[in-house]
Amino acid sequence: MSLEVRQAPPAGADDRVEVLRARGDLDVTVVPAVLPRVPDLVAGTTGVVLDLSEVTFCDSSGIRLVNSFAAACARARVGFRVVAPPGSSGRRILDLVEMAEGLAVDSLPEALDGVRGAVGG
């Protein structure tokens, strides 16, 4: 898995949304190395988007990563959304563990709108 981190184009002066794009397998071989970085990736943001569109496999470690981001964002009171289009590996696993509702969206623009409109989202 690779994790690309970039800042979304700001929608306003105080807007700092981080977009984290995961690619490949989101599993026990890669997630433990990313988990310690979660607080730093959330710190100082106004929102976080985790894009799972290009994830080909996701196990329980991937769910743990999503949950860690959701918890860190809630503590920081910033919006959080997961891009997981219908039929994708990410959406299937989020649906299976009943985390998709209110968290997963179909596209990056929808996720950006969601985090910018949420407080503690």
- The SS3 of residue 7 is strand
| 29: in domain | yes
| 59: in domain | yes
| 121: in domain | no
Which domain CATH number covers 37? 3.30.750.24
- Total structural domains within the chain: 1
Tell me what pLDDT residue 119 has.
55
- The pTM assigned to this predicted structure is 0.91
Tell me what pLDDT residue 120 has.
45
Tell me what pLDDT residue 1 has.
65
Tell me what pLDDT residue 121 has.
42
Q: Which domain holds residue 83?
A: 2-116
- The SS3 of residue 105 is strand
Angle in degrees, CA 56, 60, 65, rounded to 5: 85
| 110: in domain | yes
Tell me what pLDDT residue 2 has.
75
Rounded Cα distance between 99 and 4, Å, is 23
| 90: in domain | yes
| 81: in domain | yes
Mean pLDDT by groups of 10 residues along the chain of 121 residues: 78 87 92 94 95 93 95 96 94 94 95 81 42
| 7: in domain | yes
CB within 8 Å of 107: residues ≥ 6 apart: 83, 85
Using the Cα atoms of residue 117, residue 24, residue 95 and residue 88 in order, give the sign of their dihedral: positive
CB-based contact 11:43 (threshold 8 Å): no
